[in-house]
Amino acid sequence: MTMQPLRRTTFGLLGAVAITALGALPAAAQAPAAGGASILDAIKARGTLVCGVNTGLAGFAQPDSQGVWRGFDVEYCRAISAAIFGDPNKVRYVPTTAQSRFTALQSGEVDVLARNTTWTLSRDTSLGLDFGGVNFYDGQGFMVKTSTGVKTAKELNGATICVQPGTTTEQNLTDWARANNVQFTPVVIERLEELVSAYASGRCDAYTTDVSGLAATRSSQPNPAEHTILPDVISKEPLGPLLRHGDQRFADLVRWVHYALVAAEEFGITQANVAQMAANDTRPEVQRMLGKNGGLGQMLGVPNEWAVNVIRATGNYGEIFARHLQPIGIQRGPNALWTTPGGQQYAMPFR
């Protein structure tokens, strides 16, 4: 132990040098992924799930006035905890920033990252990470003042558009404009608050970012009805929980917790009626999912009544959505069940 401070000092000094050699990061990043230790067993032994969340994003993860984490992503942490322990509160939330999130996962500081992260090929492969399904289909859209009468994005030809710099948002906008022969003048502002006030004060005709972000901004305006989110979505941003390579069983569990939430909505199982459904429902798939027969839980390495515990703790996918995202004005849209037109949330069969 006495070696620790010395090593830290040395690394601090080395690090100052190494910061110029950041190219080495991906190579270093892959190193911890090699271990084959079971993450699920480690979680069970520890007695808590460590969940990386956003430091604060309306609707997805934010501490309330009493410091309790709430939001759509937070419910996924609670659901996984409920599946493993039967108790949704055995979670430690670690706030992570956009820069620190992947390291936190790679180094084992967190077990799972429920932090609105877009599923892309490079993240899935070179970072040594795995995605546990898509729990929210997001995409870049536009918001305009209702009074302008603009109905589709292509009518924005010649408009002034507010956009944040340095993100894929700016690139998506340029790509889309070129592909669709739309001329526009960008107003590029770094800070979100200033960007929104530039839009609100009329400096830009339209404001572009992910649809979930647009909805959150719209709901915080004095009169949300004065603003319209256009139906066009110009990029794909599938968000989902993120895991590190090394324990496929834990990845399976995270994936099937999501499917259980979606399937529960499909079967009409809610937080209120889950106990009754588990006892009385006669549909074979419901019986298998809720652990009455089939032993699906054991295959996942958790108690057979895992799905009952999850739904009792958080409700089904639709209930979670209604609790956290509908109040800030996000419509189901592509996140509706596959049984409704335009919906893409689809659970794999429980058998």
Partner 1 sequence: MSDIPLNTSVAGVPEAAPRQPPALTTGPIAWFRANLFSSWLNTAVTLVLAYFIVRYAISFVDWAFINAIWSVDNNQTQACRALKNSATPGACWAVITEKHRFILFGTYPYEEHWRPALVCLLFTALYVVSAMRRFWRWELAVVWAVTLTAIGILMWGGVFGLSYVPQERWGGLPITLILATFGLAFAFPLAILVALGRRSSMPAIRVLCIAYVELIRGVPLISLLFMASVMFPLFLPEGLNIDKLLRAQVAVILFAGAYLAEVVRGGLQALPKGQYEAAEALGLSYWQKTGFIILPQALRLVIPPLVNTFIGFFKDTSLVLIIGIFDLLTAGKTAIVEPAWQGFGVEVYIAISVIYFIYCFAMSRYSQNLEAELNRHRNR
The least distance separating partner 1 from the CB of residue 25, rounded to whole angstroms, comes to 7
- How far is CA 133 from each of CA 36, 154, 293, rounded to the nearest angstrom? 22, 32, 25
The CB-side HSE value for 318 (13 A sphere, CA atoms) comes to: 16
DSSP H helices, the chain, are 3-18, 25-30, 39-46, 72-85, 101-106, 121-125, 168-179, 192-200, 211-219, 248-267, 274-280, 284-289, 296-300, 306-314, 317-324
Smaller CB separation from partner 1, 58 or 262: 58
Smaller CB separation from partner 1, 63 or 343: 63
| Residue among 31, 272, 279, 299 that touches partner 1 (CB under 8 A) | 31
Binding mask 186-225 for partner 1 (x = CB under 8 A): -------x----------------------x--xx-x---
58 touches partner 1 by CB under 8 A: yes
| Residue among 72, 76, 85, 93 that touches partner 1 (CB under 8 A) | 93
| Residue among 1, 19, 121, 179 that touches partner 1 (CB under 8 A) | 19
For the sheet with 184-188, list strands across it. 184-188, 159-163, 206-210, 140-145, 227-229
| Residue among 103, 120, 160, 344 that touches partner 1 (CB under 8 A) | 103
Nearest Cα residue to 130 out of 39, 27, 260, 236? 39
303 touches partner 1 by CB under 8 A: no
Q: In the structure encoding, which two tokens stand for residue 129, read together?
A: 């990470």
The least distance separating partner 1 from the CB of residue 248, rounded to whole angstroms, comes to 16
Q: In the structure encoding, which two tokens stand for residue 165, read together?
A: 């710099």
| Residue among 41, 47, 87, 109 that touches partner 1 (CB under 8 A) | 109
Q: What is the 3-state secondary structure (H, E, C) of 172-229?
A: HHHHHHHHCCCCEEEEECCCHHHHHHHHHCCCCCEEEEEHHHHHHHHHCCCCHHHEEE
Angle between helices 306-314 and 248-267 (to 10 degrees): 60
The least distance separating partner 1 from the CB of residue 293, rounded to whole angstroms, comes to 38
248 touches partner 1 by CB under 8 A: no
Rounded CA separation 249/201 (Å): 52
35 touches partner 1 by CB under 8 A: yes
The least distance separating partner 1 from the CB of residue 337, rounded to whole angstroms, comes to 26
Q: How many residues bind partner 1 (CB under 8 A)?
A: 54
The least distance separating partner 1 from the CB of residue 167, rounded to whole angstroms, comes to 17
Segment contacting partner 1 (CB under 8 A): 64-72, 116-124, 293-301, 312-320?
A: 64-72
Rounded CA separation 243/52 (Å): 10
37 touches partner 1 by CB under 8 A: yes
46 touches partner 1 by CB under 8 A: no
| Residue among 1, 3, 16, 179 that touches partner 1 (CB under 8 A) | 16
Q: Is 89 exposed, middle or buried (0-12, 13-18, 19+ CB in 10 A)?
A: exposed
8 touches partner 1 by CB under 8 A: yes
* Site residues, partner 1 (CB under 8 A): 4-5, 8-9, 11-13, 15-19, 25, 28-29, 31-32, 35, 37, 42, 55-59, 62-69, 92-97, 99-100, 103-104, 106-109, 193, 216, 219-220, 222, 327-328
